Amino acid sequence: MAGRDWSVLGTREAVNNGAKQTILVLRDELSGQLEYRQSALRVVLREGQDYESFIRERPHARRLFVNPLYGEIAVDPARIGAEYLALSADPRVLKVSFLPIAVPLKAK
């Protein structure tokens, strides 16, 4: 991520609006900083690529969301590192990133 080496340390289960969500615990290998992300990736493809067919080709991905600008896929936490590397090496992919954790807003 961002030109630095990160490791997946493990996962945590969180309850968000009554639904369980798997959260990845990531560590920046240079600074030791921890980050928390969804077990999901956002993929930006090069112009002219079809997101729907691209995602269908990925046996370890489940489609979450697609629009003309990017696609989002859920990935099993045990495969997230391998999937990130595979997507980064694919010549059709312009950018791949982890999805941040969505924090629901609560009225005061």
Q: 58-103 pLDDT, tens per residue? A: 999 999 999 999 999 999 888 988 999 999 999 999 999 988 886 5
Q: Is residue 108 situated within a structural domain?
A: no
| Number of folded domains that form the chain | 1
pLDDT (average), residues 36-56: 93
Is residue 50's pLDDT more than 90? yes
- Give the residue numbers spanning the domain of 65: 6-100
Q: 4-43 pLDDT, tens per residue? A: 788 888 788 777 677 777 788 888 888 888 888 888 999 9
Q: Is residue 48 situated within a structural domain?
A: yes
Q: What angle do CA 47, 50, 51 make, to 5 degrees?
A: 105
CATH number of the domain that 15 lies in?
A: 3.30.70
Q: Is residue 105 situated within a structural domain?
A: no
Task: Look up the pTM and report it.
Answer: 0.80
Per-residue pLDDT, 42? 95
Give the separation between CA 91 and CA 75, rounded to whole angstroms: 20
Q: Is residue 107 situated within a structural domain?
A: no
Give the separation between CA 74 and CA 76, rounded to whole angstroms: 7
Q: Is residue 23 situated within a structural domain?
A: yes
